[in-house]
């Protein structure tokens, strides 16, 4: 078994295209997770509705993303593309995690801040928007960053619902060229190429913003 460099460089553009799909799905899914997670964290403070939302989040968090993907994909109307389904499921799944992160940040805001907002009779929108969230979110930025990396590493699961991302591309070109070892090994390296630098950036962020 000899490593075929020529072939490796030949398929690299294809793999890079796959990587672009992976990155696209990650970023869009992350956007959903960031926004929906914040909404869920705020809804969880409402008495009855909060408990229901918490239960649902718990269910989403303790069941495999892969099964959720295949499930939703099977139910989705055929007009919706597989990539869209993947992005939405990825985003919703991770919003169950980011909601917990936001919650810990919100609970970390000193009680006096809430009381001060109440004493100044600020409306709820200003209490959240100008007092609580700016302090809460600042503290959880590194933790949120960790989930970006986690999500990036979960996107290969999209191949189960026919999205041609990095791993699926490798499977295609690898079996077409009978060069499975090269294809999957390059995928491993591409993953490291993205996730190791991002891990370093997050460690920097952690040092800059005090973690909760």
Partner 1 sequence: MDFLIERLPLYLEGAWVTVQLTAGGLALAFVLAMFFGVLGTRPGWLPRAVATTYVEVFRGIAALVLMFWMAYALPILTGYQLDGRFAAILAVGLNVGAYGAEVVRGAINAVPRAQTEATIALDMTWFQRMRLVILPQAWAQMLPTFGNLSIELMKATAVSFLIGVADISAIAERMRQATGETVLAFSGALILYFLIAQVLIFGVRLLERRANRRLGRVPPGGKGILGLLRPPALTASGGAK
The footprint of partner 1 on this chain (CB under 8 A) covers a number of residues equal to 50
Asked if residue 139 lies in contact with residue 210, where contact means CB atoms within 8 angstroms, the answer is yes
Q: Which of residues 62-91 bind partner 1 (CB under 8 A)?
A: 62-68, 70-71, 74-75
CA–CA separation, 197 vs 105, rounded Å?
Answer: 26
CA–CA separation, 183 vs 177, rounded Å?
Answer: 9
**Interaction of residue 167 with partner 1, rule CB under 8 A:** yes
Q: Which of residues 90-119 bind partner 1 (CB under 8 A)?
A: 97, 100-101, 104-105
Nearest of 76, 77, 87 to residue 24 by alpha carbon: 87
Nearest of 150, 148, 195 to residue 30 by alpha carbon: 148
Asked if residue 160 lies in contact with residue 147, where contact means CB atoms within 8 angstroms, the answer is no
The Cβ of residue 206 has, within 10 Å, a number of other Cβ atoms equal to 15
Asked if residue 152 lies in contact with residue 192, where contact means CB atoms within 8 angstroms, the answer is no
Choices 25-33, 34-42, 117-125, 167-175 (CB under 8 A): range interacting with partner 1: 167-175
Minimum Å gap between C-beta 163 and partner 1 is 13
Helix 5-43 and helix 82-107, axial crossing angle in degrees, nearest 10 = 50
Q: Which of 43, 54, 84, 164 binds partner 1 (CB under 8 A)?
A: 54
Q: Which of residues 190-209 bind partner 1 (CB under 8 A)?
A: 191-192, 195-196, 199
**Interaction of residue 43 with partner 1, rule CB under 8 A:** no
Q: Which of 17, 122, 171, 177 binds partner 1 (CB under 8 A)?
A: 171
The footprint of partner 1 (CB under 8 A) covers: 1, 54, 59, 61-68, 70-71, 74-75, 97, 100-101, 104-105, 140, 142-143, 146-147, 149-150, 153-157, 159-160, 167, 171, 174, 180-181, 184-185, 187-188, 191-192, 195-196, 199, 211-212
């Amino acid at each position: 078994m000899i490593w075929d460099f020529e072939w490796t460089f030949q398929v690299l553009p294809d793999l890079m295209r796959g990587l672009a799909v992976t990155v696209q799905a990650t970023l869009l899914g992350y956007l959903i997770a960031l926004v929906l997670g914040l909404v869920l964290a705020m809804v969880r403070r409402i008495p009855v509705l909060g408990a229901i939302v918490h239960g649902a989040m718990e269910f989403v968090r303790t069941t495999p993303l892969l099964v959720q993907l295949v499930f939703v994909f099977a139910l989705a109307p055929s007009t919706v593309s597989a990539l869209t389904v993947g992005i939405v499921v990825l985003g919703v799944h991770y919003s169950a995690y980011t909601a917990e992160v936001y919650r810990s940040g919100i609970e970390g805001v000193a009680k006096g801040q809430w009381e001060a907002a109440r004493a100044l009779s600020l409306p709820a929108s200003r209490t959240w928007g100008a007092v609580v969230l700016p302090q809460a979110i600042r503290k959880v930025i590194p933790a949120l960053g960790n989930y970006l990396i986690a999500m990036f590493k979960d996107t290969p699961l999209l191949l189960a619902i026919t999205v041609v991302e990095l791993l699926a591309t490798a499977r295609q070109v690898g079996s077409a060229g009978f060069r499975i070892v090269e294809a999957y090994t390059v995928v491993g390296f591409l993953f490291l190429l993205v996730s190791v630098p991002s891990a370093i950036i997050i460690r920097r962020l952690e040092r800059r913003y005090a973690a909760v």
